[in-house]
Amino acid sequence: MRFRTYITVIIAFVFTIPSFAQDIELFQQFNGRYDYTAIGNTLNPFENNLDDSFCFPLESSSATLNLTSSGTVVAAYLYWAGSGTGDTNVILNGISIDAEDTYTVDYSEPFTDTLTYFSSYAEITDIILSEGNTIYELSDLDLTDTLTNTPGFCNNRTNFAGWSIYIIYEDSTLPLNQLNLYQGLEIINRNNQEKTITIDNLNVIDNEGAKIGFLAWEGDNNLNFGETLSINDNVLSNPPLNLSDNAFNGTNSFTNSNTFYNADLDVYSIQDNINIGDTSATIKMTTGAFDEFGVFRADLIIINNIVTVLNSQLPDATIAIDDYIINCGDRSLMVDYTVFNTNSTDPLPVNTPIAFYADGILIGQAQTQNDIAIDGSETGTITLVLPDNIGDVFLLTLVVDDDGTGNGIIIEINENNNIDDELIELLVVPPIQTLPNEIACNEGFSSATFNLVALFQASVTSAIEPEFYETIDDLESNQNQIINPQAYSNISNPMTVFIKVDNPPCYDAYQMDLSVENCPPYVPQGFSPNDDGKNDWFNIQGLYDIFENHELKIFNRYGTLIFEGDNNKKWYGLINRGLNNHGKLVPVGTYFYVLNLNDANYRPLVGWVYVNY
């Protein structure tokens, strides 16, 4: 079912001076038996709003990681932040870390210079796995030039620096959770007093252990004007560390510390603020209120990230094109695909629909055959036939959880990862090349014997053995190949044979016309009808079953007609005409014939034949 995770920023204007930032957006999502912890420390020696004796941060600070033995680290991210446009390289336990990305945000007040703040991050999973539970010290976060050349930071007491490490871990004893890590860099202050994030695609089945955490910078304990963190309009608190009206007060709730100066690394239980069956949650952060004198006041809060852990059980269907097969000149293709249910917290049900599109046009449908377990998959194969209005080059798109109309039927964790596509180019057969015609003498019933291999080789030089077919359909479908092309008898007259020569990725095709004609018959000058099995009849070669309508007349030396024959009546020296001697052999002697071929290309043949015994 299609839902989109979206982020909405609600802005209340007191002054019309904008702040520019990278929106807090979903960065990573982990679905399964996951939770998180965080460590970190400030580099401010005191709260800057209470103590103006310092401008520059400490050279280093440290924090201790104590992850339970049952937890397996799957991801870890280091964040560091401070005044200015950024220092993109720091040292963690002696290891140089370069930022993967750096966010900046500008802050302005009336009649003051614009001040820029930054936050950098880097994935350090390998370092955490290698170092394990130990003390982590961050150093070499150098803001000297920024604070020296831009006195507004220290004059306004918004000079800060600090760091944190977020560790996401897996533990088989945990429930199935959806862990969302949002990050960016945004200001809430008197100009932008509220930040709202709506989380969709939930299916809360249990609220036990639900939590929300955040990392924010520049909060001051003694500036508590309308500072709240709420979920589903329920304001959160964690007294005495975090009061309901002072959410950004320089605390670290992981260590129960209130000396995390000008930074907040906090986590709250929200199991009483979210209900079983909820499909969404709304997070809101605010600052700003009127003091006892009626003056509107607000602390400057810089939000870096937000984490939610919710017990939600949903599948997450994705699909991948594994392979496809296309044949030359064929407008069908066979597609192998796999449906996955990874990064999920519930099985993907059987009969989840799958739609197949070519350039956005539905060309096929399928469905899953079984329930697909968490982190499981299922393979499938489908043959798709392309309609004529699809070109030879097209975009093949596979969409899981799509009923063929663009709509899904399954509620999923992520509705935006159900598609895989690939640009497909059909194998178009080159035009058929025409070889010279071949004419052969009729060997009977308009048929002749052709050496197709020799005829092809006389016209085309190829190291690939050709294949011969009687129809173009047989050639294209690779069936009914001519078995003995060296001695092939045509089946019609005239006819066309088709030749295929492999030329990957396709093939070359040729055609050759075969025709049969009646060649002049050969008339022998004698025969001996003595029934010895040799030369027993008047065998005119190239006549019988070739000139099928011929007429043969035999005369004796006196001009008397003694025999009439045709294609079915050969002369064995017997008399079948006249008044006498029917069925008797003619005596030894010379006889005359008249052979009417009844062929427009030939005149009647006249000659003599000698009969002997």
Same domain, 353 and 249: no
pLDDT band at 10 (very low <50, low <70, confident <90, very high): very low
577: domain range? 524-613
Report the domain count for the chain.
Answer: 4
pLDDT of residue 472 exceeding 50, the answer is yes
Residue at which a domain ends, from 312, 327, 347: 312
What is the structure's pLDDT at 495? 96
pLDDT of residue 8 exceeding 70, the answer is no
What is the structure's pLDDT at 75? 97
Q: Phi then psi for 236, rounded to 5 degrees?
A: -95, 150
Distance CA 413, CA 195 (A): 23
Same domain, 510 and 530: no
Same domain, 336 and 201: no
pLDDT of residue 299 exceeding 60, the answer is yes
Is residue 69 exposed (0-12), middle (13-18) or buried (19+ Cβ within 10 Å)? Answer: exposed
pLDDT band at 110 (very low <50, low <70, confident <90, very high): low
Same domain, 307 and 406: no
Among 103, 131, 130, CA closest to 116: 103
| Torsional class of 168: left (φ above 0), alpha (ψ -120 to 50), beta (otherwise) | beta
Same domain, 108 and 218: yes
Coil, helix or strand at residue 164: strand
- Residue with token string 């052979």: 595
Please state the three-class secondary structure of 1-49 as a single string: CCCCCEEECCCCCCCCCCCCCEEEEEEEEEEECEEEEEEEEECCCCCCC
Spacing of C-alpha 508 from chain mean position: 31
Count CB atoms within 10 A of the CB of residue 76: 21
Same domain, 533 and 512: no
Q: Give pLDDT tens digits for 414-444.
A: 888 999 999 999 998 889 999 999 999 999 8
Considering the entire predicted model, what is its pTM?
A: 0.63
In a domain? residue 151: yes
Same domain, 138 and 57: yes
Same domain, 146 and 281: yes
Q: Give pLDDT tens digits for 199-250.
A: 877 777 767 788 999 999 998 888 888 888 898 888 999 999 999 989 999 9
Q: Give pLDDT tens digits for 248-293.
A: 999 999 999 999 999 999 999 888 888 878 888 898 989 988 888 8
Q: Give pLDDT tens digits for 152-202.
A: 999 989 999 999 999 999 999 998 898 999 999 999 888 888 889 888 777
> Hey, what are 331's tokens?
């407008």
DSSP string, 446-478: TB-EE-HHHHHHTT---SSPPEEESSHHHHHHT
Same domain, 327 and 239: no
Same domain, 469 and 592: no
Among 235, 173, 176, CA closest to 203: 176
In a domain? residue 1: no
* CATH number for the domain that contains residue 509: 2.60.40
pLDDT of residue 563 exceeding 50, the answer is yes
In a domain? residue 404: yes
Same domain, 465 and 360: no
> Hey, what are 298's tokens?
């607000």
CB 217 within 8 A of CB 81: yes
Give me the torsion for CA of 214, 220, 224, 228, rounded to 10°: -10
Same domain, 143 and 76: yes
